[in-house]
Structure 1
Amino acid sequence: MANVTSETNFTQQVRSLIERTYGRSQLKDSLLERAMAYFEVKAQQSVQADKYQQQLEEIKAKIEEGSGKESAALQQKLHKLEREQRNFQLQLRLERNERNENLLETCHKLLALCEAEDIEETNRKSAQFLGTLQLISPTEGKKVAQLNEQHKALYKAVLALRLLDRLCMDKIVAEPYISQYLTDIPPEQYAEYHELDPKNYKVYIQQVKIPVIMAALIQDIGHYHPDAQQIIYGEDGKLDPCRTLDMESRKALLQISYRETIDYLVHGIGLTQYIGNSKVERDKFNQAEHKKIFFIKHLLKTSINPLKGIGNLLKVPQIYTSIILSTKVKYNYKLLPKAYQALNQNAERGTCSQAVVDSLYRITGMYPQGFGITYIPRDSDGKALDRYEYAIVNRLYPENPEQPLCRAATRQLSFISRGLDIIVKCEDNLYLSAVASNLATMSKKRLMEILELLASNYKERENLELIPRCWHAGEFFSIKENQKLWNKAQ
Structure 2
Amino acid sequence: MSKYLTGDTNFTAKVKILLSKIYGRSPLKDSVLERAISYFELEALSQRKLDKLNNEITRLVSVGSDKSKNKLTNLKREQRDYLQVLRQQSNERAQQLQLVCRDIIELCEGETRADTNKKSAELLGTIQLLSPTEGSKVASVNERSKPLYRGVLTLRLLDQICLKTLSSGAYLTQELAKISEYDYQDLRNENETAYLEFVDHVKIPMLMAAILQDIGNYHPDAQMIMQGSDGKKSVFRALNVEERKALLQINYRETMKYLVNGIGVVMYLGNSKEERNTFNKVETNKLRFVKQLLKGSIQPKLGVGNILKIPQIYTAIVLSTKDNYNYKLLPKVYQALYQNAERGNCCRGVVDSLYKITGDFPQGFGVIYIPKDSDQNVRYEYAIVTQLYPEKPNEPICRIATRQLAFIGHGHDLVVKKTNNLYFVETAKEFSSINKERLNEILELLSSNYLERKKLDLLPRCWQPEEFFTQKINQKLWNRMNYS
**TM-score range relative to shorter protein:** over 0.9
CA contact (8 A) 2:182 2:190 kept: no
Residue 203 of structure 1 corresponds to: 197
The one of 374, 380, 397 equivalent to 1:388 is 380
Provide the rounded CA distance (Å) in 2 between the counterparts of 1:240 and 1:96.
Answer: 31
Are 1:432 and 2:389 an aligned pair?
Answer: no
Provide the rounded CA distance (Å) in 2 between the counterparts of 1:368 and 1:187.
Answer: 34
Are 1:121 and 2:115 an aligned pair?
Answer: yes
CA contact (8 A) 1:181 1:203 kept: no
Residue 42 of structure 2 corresponds to: 41
Residue 398 of structure 2 corresponds to: 406
CA contact (8 A) 1:167 1:359 kept: yes
> Cα gap change, 1:129/1:26 in structure 2, threshold over 3 Å: closer, same or farther?
same
Displacement, 1:240? 2.4
Provide the rounded CA distance (Å) in 2 between the counterparts of 1:281 and 1:335.
Answer: 53
> Cα gap change, 1:384/1:402 in structure 2, threshold over 3 Å: closer, same or farther?
farther
Q: Cα RMSD over matched residues?
A: 1.6
> Secondary structure at 1:38's aligned position in 2?
helix
Query: Percent identity over the alignment?
Result: 53
The one of 89, 95, 103 equivalent to 1:95 is 89
Are 1:136 and 2:137 an aligned pair?
Answer: no
Displacement, 1:51? 1.4
Provide the rounded CA distance (Å) in 2 between the counterparts of 1:128 and 1:267.
Answer: 35
Provide the rounded CA distance (Å) in 2 between the counterparts of 1:218 and 1:392.
Answer: 31
Gap runs ≥5 in structure 2 = none
The one-letter amino acid paired with 2:78 is E
Normalised by the length of structure 2, the TM-score is 0.96
Map 1:162-241; keep pairs closer than 5 Å: 162-168=156-162, 171-175=164-168, 176-183=170-177, 185-186=179-180, 189-241=183-235
How many residues are treated as equivalent by the alignment? 478
Provide the rounded CA distance (Å) in 2 between the counterparts of 1:171 and 1:9.
Answer: 39
Are 1:354 and 2:348 an aligned pair?
Answer: yes
Residue 410 of structure 2 corresponds to: 418
The one of 447, 450, 456 equivalent to 1:464 is 456
Provide the rounded CA distance (Å) in 1 between the counterparts of 2:102 and 2:179.
Answer: 24
> Secondary structure at 1:183's aligned position in 2?
helix
Are 1:368 and 2:362 an aligned pair?
Answer: yes
> Secondary structure at 2:174's aligned position in 1?
helix
Displacement, 1:26? 1.1
Provide the rounded CA distance (Å) in 2 between the counterparts of 1:431 and 1:38.
Answer: 46
> Cα gap change, 1:187/1:229 in structure 2, threshold over 3 Å: closer, same or farther?
farther
The one-letter amino acid paired with 1:39 is F
Displacement, 1:90? 1.4
Provide the rounded CA distance (Å) in 2 between the counterparts of 1:279 and 1:120.
Answer: 42
CA contact (8 A) 1:418 1:489 kept: no
Residue 22 of structure 1 corresponds to: 23
Displacement, 1:183? 3.1
The one-letter amino acid paired with 2:206 is V
Report the more deviating stretch, 197-206 or 124-133: 197-206
Map 1:321-340; keep pairs closer than 5 Å: 321-340=315-334
Displacement, 1:187? 9.5
> Secondary structure at 2:383's aligned position in 1?
strand
Provide the rounded CA distance (Å) in 1 between the counterparts of 2:273 and 2:10.
Answer: 43
Report the more deviating stretch, 328-337 or 286-295: 286-295
Provide the rounded CA distance (Å) in 2 between the counterparts of 1:184 and 1:104.
Answer: 22
The one-letter amino acid paired with 2:447 is A
Provide the rounded CA distance (Å) in 2 between the counterparts of 1:463 and 1:397.
Answer: 33
